Amino acid sequence: KAASKEEIEQLIEDYASAAENAIVAGFDGVEIHGANGYLLDQFLHYDTNLRDDEFGQTPENMARFPLAVIDAIIERIGGHRTGLRLSP
């Protein structure tokens, strides 16, 4: 089942909250795993992203959710503490 827009907004908040929790716990930063079939990776591929809304069909739309996640994390903990792992 495709995530609803409300679920996507909650997922973005969950990623940002988890990153903040990592910093509070004493970690220097976080690396988000956006490869190997993980959620962010699924949005970036035509074979797994079958959405027909603003999160699918074009490369720009397919990147919208992963970029929103990273933007939310950077806003919460700073860009110097945020990494993203992608793989073809």
Domain boundaries, the chain: 5-85
pLDDT band at 1 (very low <50, low <70, confident <90, very high): confident
Q: Which two tokens stand for residue 36?
A: 């190997």
Task: Tell me which amino acid residue 8 is.
Answer: I
pLDDT at 15: 99
**b/e per residue, 26-36, with b = 16+ CB within 10 A?**
eeeebebbbee
The distance from CA 36 to its chain's CA centroid, rounded to whole angstroms, is 14
pLDDT per residue as tens digits for the range 39-71: 999 999 999 999 999 999 999 999 999 999 999
> Which residues are marked as active site?
38
Among all chains, which residue has been given the structure tokens 């992203």? 49
Backbone angles phi, psi at 69, to 5 degrees: -60, -50
